[in-house]
Structure 1
Amino acid sequence: MPPTDNQGSFLNRISIRRNQVAYEHEIEDLEQFQKHVADRLSELIHPPEDTPAADPPETTLSIAWFRKLLDIFLCCEAEFKTVVIMGRDANSFLKSPLDRLIPEHLDRSVKALDICNAITQGIELLQHWRKLAQIAVDSLQQKPIGEGHVKRAKKALDTLLSSITIDDKENHHHTGKSTPAPTKSNNHATIGNFKSLSYPFARSWSAAKQIQAMSSNLATPRGGEPTGLVVPVYLMSSVLVFVMWSMVAAIPCQERAGLGAHLQLSKQFSWAQPMIGLQEKIGEEWKKKEKKGRSGLLVETQKLEKLGQNLVEFADGFVFPVEGEKAEEVTEMVVEMAEICRIMEEGLVALDMQVRELFSRIVRGRAETLDVLDQVNKMTTPVPY
């Protein structure tokens, strides 16, 4: 029996109500996503009050801080896929401006993969610096410290400091090999004696320009956008660029001149506030220390450099035997350097694994997004492969 007019009206009202509930649920999910991102980023500036005493807050730009930053990004990326990408009608992405924003986001993801490769190489270089510092520690921990121990430590520290301070453009020749300048103590001693690093990029490749390319078309959504997905896509792109920018600022990368420029973020979003605060803090550190060479702003690298310089001064004025206040001073510096070596040995392995996971997650997320887009064959803007 065909439905009466009253029955049809009732079914229509049910359908409208279901659509309204689904829409309200979607809006709630998107708002929760933004809140979660804001809360996680805020923890990078203001750690939770219930942080255990045995687990002190991470120092900004330390290895531990970057591990937390990458954890936050991976959590945001997983939630972004769940809320925005998976199970959604692909037609949503064909409406303006998403038909442009999604391909742009995917293009940023491709550029981010190059940054991940550069960071992996930078972590490998940090491991070499740690090994050089460890040679100095092992030599200066001998009792009593003899002239041979001091010479061995000085040779390692000279090579370490030479590698840390060398300029990017001087370091990367047409072959792409790492060839630092000679050390003071031995004209033939270079980091290449320990291991020559080969960067997987052309000499003209620039980490700073890659970041600039990722952020150049990252525009703040205008009011009254026709879909609620615009802000989450803008959010995820902003977090992606910020994470890559932060890592390039801290970890040795090829060509970082001009990196100090900030991303242009609108303060109207709650999640943008902590990100802007972190950008300003990192940007000030960059300007203050003028680290345009290889070392970057990583806390552990800064400490290694300072301790290395002090221990080289000690070695230059070494007189046997070392006694009194001088012995205590050297012992304190060696103990501190040994602790930094320990932190780097443990932390860099874990950080390297996270960067590789980040690389895999970006690749997988991009492929999943393309699968959704391929459900319909009506895209007006081609997606770069």
Structure 2
Amino acid sequence: MFSRNVAERFTTLLPGPESPSGNHPQILTLSWFRQLLDAFLYCEAEFKALLLSTRPPLDRLVLDLLDRSVKALDVFNAVTNALDLMHHWQKLAQIAVSALLQSPVGEGQVRRARRALDTLIASMSFDDKDTAGGGGHGKWAERTRRLGGALASRDRGGVGSLRSLSWSAAKQVQGMLAAPKGGEAGGMATPVYIMNTMLVFAAWALVAAVPCQERHGLATNFHIPRSLQPMMVLQERIGEEVKRKEKKGNPGLMDELQKMEAAAHSLVDFADGFVFPLEDGRAEEMAKQVEELAQICHKMEEGLGPLQNLVREVFHRIVKSRGEILDVFDKSSATVQY
């Protein structure tokens, strides 16, 4: 039953004709990730109720899940930082939009927009492959400070602190990708296995989408049970995007980030050739590009806050559930260790 419910939830996340609903979601968007985390929270609550009501002798399997959940907490921590950085990118893009919406557009407005866009592009084009070393991490921390980020000093609440010099989002996810134990055992071992897989998938997809520290080299394939066919389809689609767009300086696969980067480059090209007064054709072209960037800013302004709240909710749900499960199993089995 649990496996079927998870599959049904993930079926609603499928893009294109695979989705049973009339509204086919576009993957790797802010709204899609909110749906993904909503599905995760729903299934996690069902799993915990099932596990705590059954209380089977699954010490080894449960400990494997709890160990994986600790790694996931670090990943969600890094994702929260990444969403903070995306907030700053949205503000920079909005500065450029506001400047270029002035009428008439003069050299002063274009210079202001160009400064904001140059800062935006430079920040989005960091080489996350280099952040494994001290120099790369220094660039990461310096970027957050330059953009007005409190990220370098943020540790309250357990969410949002910067990683250590050697921390790597890709390696952290890689450490979660080993096939969970108990996949073929049946019984209550199967829900534990599925919960493990769901946790890995959510962490993997988020790291692929947002500018996490050292994301380069992220794996594109890991084992998903056949009972979760919709998740297998999503893994394949996202994996294709990882392979296709993995390049030096890629800010992440989030659709809004990809479009923001393209629009910013296009407007910088416009600024390079700016001559006052604008000819009608150039003015129309600029207005169209500014409108595209304005729409992206609006989507990010509306979507980043709710997504960040969901990431925090998942983080704290994992912490709470882990404590409850440990408490129950510690009382019932002397082999369970904190």
Question: Normalising to structure 2: TM-score of the pair?
Answer: 0.90
Which residue identity lines up with residue 206 of structure 1 in the other structure? S
In 2, distance between residues paired with 1:276 and 1:321?
54
In 2, distance between residues paired with 1:131 and 1:344?
10
Displacement of 1:165 after TM fit? 1.2
SS in 1 for 2:53: coil
Q: 1:246 and 1:350, CA in 2 relative to 1: closer, same or farther beyond 3 A?
A: same
Q: Which of 136, 152, 174 matches 2:96?
A: 136
Name the residue aligned to 1:109.
Answer: 69
Alignment of structure 1 residues 255-270 onto 2, 5 Å = 255-267=214-226, 269=227
Name the residue aligned to 2:47.
Answer: 80
SS in 2 for 1:337: helix
SS in 1 for 2:277: coil
- Per-residue CA deviations over 1:71-123 (Å, capped at 9, x if unaligned) read 0000000110112x2233x4x22xxxx33111000001111110111000000
- 1:206 paired to 2:168: yes
Q: Which runs of 4+ in 1 moved over 4 A?
A: 169-173, 175-181
Question: Normalising to structure 1: TM-score of the pair?
Answer: 0.80
SS in 2 for 1:374: helix
Which residue identity lines up with residue 162 of structure 1 in the other structure? A
8 Å contact kept, 1:207–1:256: yes
- 1:343 paired to 2:299: yes
- 1:166 paired to 2:132: no
Name the residue aligned to 2:332.
Answer: 376
In 1, distance between residues paired with 2:165 and 2:264?
30
Q: Which of 192, 215, 218 matches 2:180?
A: 218
Which residue identity lines up with residue 194 of structure 2 in the other structure? L
- 1:58 paired to 2:17: no
Which residue identity lines up with residue 79 of structure 2 in the other structure? I
- Per-residue CA deviations over 1:334-355 (Å, capped at 9, x if unaligned) read 1111111011011000000000
Displacement of 1:263 after TM fit? 1.0
Residues 340-349 or 160-169, more deviating: 160-169
Displacement of 1:41 after TM fit? 0.6
- Per-residue CA deviations over 1:151-200 (Å, capped at 9, x if unaligned) read 1111111111111111025457649554589xxxxxxxx66433244252
Displacement of 1:282 after TM fit? 0.6
Q: 1:193 and 1:377, CA in 2 relative to 1: closer, same or farther beyond 3 A?
A: closer
Name the residue aligned to 2:235.
Answer: 279
C-alpha RMSD of the superposition:
2.1
Q: 1:286 and 1:348, CA in 2 relative to 1: closer, same or farther beyond 3 A?
A: same
Which residue identity lines up with residue 218 of structure 1 in the other structure? P
- Per-residue CA deviations over 1:306-363 (Å, capped at 9, x if unaligned) read 0001100000000111121211111011111111101101100000000000011001
Which residue identity lines up with residue 67 of structure 1 in the other structure? R
In 1, distance between residues paired with 2:65 and 2:132?
30
In 2, distance between residues paired with 1:292 and 1:260?
16
Displacement of 1:62 after TM fit? 0.3
Q: Which has the larger radius of gyration?
A: 1
Name the residue aligned to 1:330.
Answer: 286
Q: Which of 24, 28, 40 matches 2:9?
A: 40
Q: Unmatched 5+ residue regions in structure 1?
A: 1-30, 182-189
Displacement of 1:276 after TM fit? 1.1
In 2, distance between residues paired with 1:131 and 1:60?
24
Q: 1:300 and 1:74, CA in 2 relative to 1: closer, same or farther beyond 3 A?
A: same
In 2, distance between residues paired with 1:293 and 1:195?
21
In 1, distance between residues paired with 2:141 and 2:287?
30
Displacement of 1:261 after TM fit? 2.8
Which residue identity lines up with residue 128 of structure 1 in the other structure? H
Name the residue aligned to 2:157.
Answer: none
